[in-house]
Chain A
């Protein structure tokens, strides 16, 4: 042991002498004991040049030091290992495709990959987790599926990297509550959203318990998180929030209450609406007529219930019509059909040409979306000409209402029928094209084939793709909406000899590439051997 320490002293003395320089100091070898000591003593004697002998001693000591280095031993236990995940790893081919997606190939299919992993109950490979967690940090919409695919390993990693704290909550109710109580900012919002999806009641109770201490800036986001799993049980809390100091909170709460048909807010709005709207008969033929009296003023009670007093600037919308539209928007549309025993279609026809058609229809559009009234949604879609209002009214479009409210099988059938019936239904700005672009679901095999036939017909009829922005958007949408079974309908059958083909080719090539990738993705999850 003494020898070892003496040897280390030789190295230290050599470094010190070298730092100062042999012009200013002389290297005194501290010990001539031991192998290195005796060698050093010999090397100094052997050489008149002080710098050269220092370098020689250093080179001997350098090798000596390296060879004698002993790795440190720690008695601390190693850091806690990640708990095992019961689900199995995804097939190797699926893992390879995930890596390609993460490297930028068909990035838009990441969500598809994640949902396929969830459907097959498998995990993402561990080496992709850093990239996935990083993506989740930037895109909150992907977080829940990323956490599901990442499993216990993702949660374990997130617990040691503060950048990924949003993911550290894991998936149990207890850990989410713990994050709510001790976490910060985005991690708490994420915990609330996730718990709301799992146990809506418990999530609201959790928010209520700490509501008084929440910062005004964050309250708006917390109220918005209640949109998921909204139920009548949320009413008392939301009703109190109508008197919050912050505008986003008040409006958010009013918007949610307007979606609860049995809420007091909806009852108040319905009472108001009945004052301003009534049914009359006119002339000798006793034609049905809608009588509208616009509200005279927006009093505090009306504003408290979420009515915005000022119409959007520059739209030419009058204040009173603006208030009227917002009142109608909070009333379940079935109120009118049942009170007057009339079909939605009939009411829409009566509204056609009415002086106040726009506020009336804008209100019905919003109300139909809020209360998810399928009969109204169909009527609005089938009479989309009457049901279309200026963007200033901030109402959802008839196709949006139709595609979000009506059950997807029905939407699918309706769209397929429309496409089959009309030649130009998929040309830019056509309502059918807008509806299909709006609809977020995967298409049925039949709908996809109908779209393919119509598009291929356009290509054969020498329609140049340049300038057809709607068709281009549709072709892009096809990449995600076409079911795997109908992929062949899009990859084959194009008129590649046509004069206009060069305007189509790049877009169709891109589409084929996405569809092939998606097809491979489905195969990768179901069988092991995919090239």
Chain B
């Protein structure tokens, strides 16, 4: 896909993605959202402008604040990117939010014209940075179209050798880490899980840290999870052995990578911590469907905030997980969405590309063509149907940690902790002990059968979204 067509897609996506709600979701805190709303009025702006001809849309405005000079505010809706001359340390600041909000609500207030210098400079500096980045990526990809003089050929060969050496070095380190972890796991079993449970948390952390050093962050995360199980209450020995066994299976899989199908081999490598490049995934053909956003959940984990967004394909009848990561910043509440444009309850006609896997779940959004309405007739008809589907996935890919479960008619029975999700046949799934929002779940369902989406971890379901008469309600 060429740069120009990708830009066009981005612009079309931008128009689909931004409305008052998604713009305000960008606010770093509720006070900024409120201030942004108050500035989202024509009267606050001495001038407003928009330009469409520099390839991307750019908005600008001058806002009279309490100081002598007006603040100069610039917004590029495609990324989105913001710049303002105000001294606020909030990002985006209230002026940028107000300007953006005014644009999505009343675009006619913006005079189309040539950007003034202070806007043009910003656009150019961002374009220059983007070009540099593309060039860097281009060099990394060893484009054969580059000039062919002897010096550059030598340089290219050298950097190719270096890249290959890095790949080999990582394989070597991971193999060492895997061998060490395998021995460590077997030691735990030799000494007994009772003894393992009385180890301090730091002993699990130490092993996890060694795996991070061995460039196997996925395995490190699984070890850290193991450390939390002995304190997780009744049934911990079953849970601990189960997770250790899955980890052991992962290590054995790594030892036999060449005997596995390419998809399962990809799962093993993902499990240990390799990541596929999103850029190269975007080059692949995707799965076109009407994708409903059925669940969103933001958590903070080891200085990283992770947004898990679940989509559901109406025709393909499958779940898809889109992940977004951001550093765990200061001042941001940990439940604020990282990408606010995938709003639970909405849906779009578009294309997803799935990461290679024996049971592809993780995906990235390649294209959104149009917003569509989501109706509640998607998902499994019964708890039993949902469990047949998850069992089928487990047989093909034994390391799935959460399965998407969308039920068409679920009756939340959560008067007492922790409660269950029932269906009309009387079968039920237990609700996770960690679920905190059962009163809201009950309030929205009113004891009736309602559409519900949750993550199933093999033992319990964590409801993420319930649909009531007013539409989708996110649970926390």
Q: Which residues of A contact B (CB under 8 A)?
A: 11, 14-15, 18-24, 49-52, 54-56, 58-59, 61-63, 65-76, 78-82, 89, 92, 95, 103-105, 125-127, 129-130, 153, 156-157, 160-161, 502, 505-506, 509, 512-513, 516, 531
Who on chain A is nearest to B425 by CB?
A73
Contact, CB under 8 Å: B427 / A59: no
Residue from A22, A125, A160, A516 within 8 A of B415 (CB atoms): A160
In the complex, which residues of chain B have a beta carbon less than 8 angstroms from the beta carbon of A67? 391, 394-395
Asked if A23 meets B442 with Cβ closer than 8 Å, knowing A126-B470, A531-B20, the reply is no
Q: How far is the CB of B337 from chain A (nearest CB, A)?
A: 15
Bound form: Cα–Cα A50–B186 in Å: 9
Contact of A104 among B30, B194, B252 (CB under 8 A): B30
Q: Find out whether the CB atom of B446 lies under 8 angstroms from the CB atom of A73.
A: no
Query: Interface with A: B113-121, B122-130, B235-243, B258-266, which one?
Result: B235-243
Given A81-B447, A82-B446, A126-B444, check contact A20 B249 (CB 8 Å): no
Q: For residue A157, which residues in chain B have a CB less than 8 angstroms away from its CB?
A: 439, 442-443
B195 beta carbon closer than 8 Å to chain A:
yes
Distance in Å: Cβ of B363 to nearest Cβ of chain A? 23
Q: In the complex, which of the residues A15, A22, A126 contacts B469, with contact meaning CB atoms closer than 8 Å?
A: A126
Interface pair B443/A22, CB less than 8 Å apart: no
A110 CB → nearest B CB, Å: 15
Known contacts A56-B248, A129-B443, A156-B447; A78/B425 CB under 8 A = no
Number of interface residues of B (CB under 8 A): 59
Interface of B is mostly: helix
Candidate in A18, A54, A74, A129 with the most chain B CB atoms within 10 angstroms: A18
Q: Which residues of chain B have C-beta atoms less than 8 A from A56's C-beta?
A: 248-249, 252
Decide if A21 touches B383 in the complex (CB within 8 Å). Answer: no
CB neighbours (8 Å) of A24 from chain B are 192
User: Which of the residues B30, B185, B428, B469 comes within 8 Å of A72, measured between beta carbons?
Assistant: B428
- On chain A, the residues within 8 Å of B415 by CB distance are 79, 160
Is B191 within 8 A of A23, CB to CB?
A: yes
In the complex, what's the smallest C-beta–C-beta distance from B310 to chain A, in angstroms? 19
Q: Which residue of B lies closest to A88 (CB)?
A: B469
* A interface SS class: helix
Interface residue B422 (Cβ < 8 Å from any Cβ of A): yes
Tell me which residues across on chain A come within 8 A of B383, comparing CB atoms: 71
Contact flag A78-B190 (CB < 8 Å), given A18-B241, A69-B387, A72-B427: no
Complex-state Cα separation, A23 to B471, whole angstroms: 57
Q: Does B228 contact A (CB under 8 A)?
A: no
Q: Decide yes or no whether B175 CB sits under 8 A from chain A.
A: no
Would A74 and B192 be within 8 Å (CB), given that A49-B186, A56-B248, A509-B38 are in contact? no
Whether A82 contacts B447 by the Cβ 8 Å rule is: yes
Inter-chain pairs besides A81-B447, A105-B34, 20 sampled, C-beta below 8 Å: A18-B241, A20-B194, A21-B193, A23-B191, A51-B186, A62-B242, A65-B242, A69-B387, A73-B427, A76-B426, A78-B422, A81-B448, A92-B470, A105-B33, A126-B443, A126-B470, A129-B443, A157-B439, A160-B415, A513-B38
Question: 23 A-B contacts, Cβ less than 8 Å apart?
Answer: A14-B241, A15-B237, A21-B195, A51-B185, A52-B248, A55-B186, A59-B245, A62-B241, A62-B398, A65-B242, A66-B391, A69-B387, A71-B428, A73-B426, A74-B426, A76-B426, A78-B422, A81-B446, A89-B469, A126-B443, A126-B444, A160-B442, A513-B37
* Residues of B397-412 whose CB lies within 8 A of A: 398, 411
Task: For the complex, give the distance between the alpha carbons of A24 and B193 in Å.
Answer: 12
- B447–A59 CB distance below 8 A: no
Given A21-B191, A51-B187, A95-B470, are A512 and B38 also a contact pair (CB < 8 Å)? Answer: yes
How far, in Å, is B22 (CB) from chain A's closest CB? Answer: 13
Taking CB atoms, residues of chain A closer than 8 Å to B248 are: 52, 55-56, 58-59
Q: Are A51 and B241 in contact (CB under 8 A)?
A: no
Chain B residues whose CB sits within 8 angstroms of the CB of A62 once the complex forms:
241-242, 245-246, 398
Are A89 and B443 in touch, CB under 8 angstroms?
Answer: no
The answer, among A81, A126, A161, A531, for a CB contact under 8 Å with B105, is A531
Residues of A with C-beta under 8 A to B237:
15, 18-19
Which residue of chain A has the shortest Cβ distance to B40 in the bound complex?
A531
Residues of chain B at the chain A interface (Cβ within 8 Å): 20, 30, 33-34, 37-38, 41, 66, 105, 185-187, 189-195, 237-238, 241-242, 244-246, 248-249, 252, 383-384, 387, 391, 394-395, 398, 411, 413, 415, 422, 425-429, 439-440, 442-444, 446-448, 458, 468-471, 473
Residues in chain A near residue B187, CB distance under 8 A: 51
Residues of B within 8 A of A505 (CB): 66
CA A18 to CA B242, docked complex, whole Å: 11
Measured between alpha carbons, how far is A203 from B153 in the docked complex, in Å? 96
Q: Is the CB of A15 within 8 A of B427?
A: no
Q: In chain A, what residue has the closest Cβ to B243?
A: A62
Given the contacts A79-B415, A505-B66, A58 and B242 also touching, CB distance less than 8 Å: yes
- CB neighbours (8 Å) of A11 from chain B are 238
B236 to chain A, nearest CB (A): 10
CB within 8 Å for A58 and B241 given contacts A20-B192, A52-B186, A80-B447 = yes
Cα A20 to Cα B197 with chains together (Å):
12
Distance, CA A511 to CA B266, complexed state (A): 59
Contacts of B384 in A (CB 8 A): 71
Q: Which residue of B has the minimal Cβ distance to A70? A: B387
Question: Complex: how many Å from CA A51 to CA B394?
Answer: 24
The CA of A74 and the CA of B421, in the complex, are separated in Å by 11
Given contacts A19-B237, A21-B195, A51-B187, contact A153 B443 (CB under 8 A): yes
- Of B30, B41, B395, which one neighbours A103 at CB under 8 angstroms? B30
List residues of chain B with CB within 8 A of the CB of A23. Answer: 190-192
Contact assessment for A59 and B398 in the assembled complex, using a CB-CB cutoff below 8 Å? yes
Q: Is the CB of A19 within 8 A of B244?
A: no
CB-CB under 8 A for A18 and B470, given A62-B242, A73-B427, A157-B443:
no
How far does the Cβ of A372 sit from chain B's closest Cβ, in whole Å?
A: 42
In angstroms, how far is the closest chain B Cβ from the Cβ of A164? 9
Query: Is the CB–CB distance between A58 and B448 below 8 Å?
Result: no
Residues from chain A with a CB closer than 8 A to the CB of B391 are: 66-69
Given contacts A78-B422, A160-B442, A161-B439, contact A18 B429 (CB under 8 A): no
Minimal Cβ-Cβ distance residue in A for B448: A81
CA distance A95 to B21 in the complex (A): 14
| Closest partner residue, chain A, to B391 (CB atom) | A67
Q: Which partner residue on chain A sits nearest B65 by CB separation?
A: A505
Pairwise interchain contact B425-A19, C-beta atoms closer than 8 A:
no
> Which residues of A have CB within 8 Å of B458?
66, 69
A65 contact set on B, CB distance < 8 A:
242
B-chain residues with CB within 8 Å of residue A75 when the two chains form the complex: 426
Chain A residues within 8 Å of B245, by CB: 55, 58-59, 61-62
Nearest neighbor of A52 in chain B, beta-carbon distance: B186
Q: List residues of chain B with CB within 8 A of the CB of A14.
A: 241
Q: Which residues of A contact B448 (CB under 8 A)?
A: 81-82
Contact A126 B189 (CB under 8 A): no
Which chain B residues lie closer than 8 Å to A61 at the CB level? 245
Once bound together, how far apart are the Cα atoms of A11 and B192, in whole Å?
16
State whether A74 touches B394 (Cβ < 8 A).
no
Contact B446 A156 (CB under 8 A): yes
Closest A-chain residue to B21, C-beta based?
Answer: A96
Residue from B428, B444, B470, B473 with most neighbouring chain A CB atoms (10 Å): B470
**Known: A23-B191, A75-B426, A126-B446. Contact between A59 and B34, CB under 8 A?**
no
The complex places the Cα of A81 from the Cα of B450 at a distance, in Å, of: 12
* Bound Cα distance A24, B413 (Å): 45
Question: Which of A74, A125, A126: most chain B Cβ within 10 A?
Answer: A126
The answer to whether B395 touches A63, judged by C-beta atoms less than 8 angstroms apart, is yes
Chain A residues lying within 8 Å of B30, measured Cβ to Cβ, are: 103-105
Alpha-carbon gap, A21 to B194, bound state (A): 8
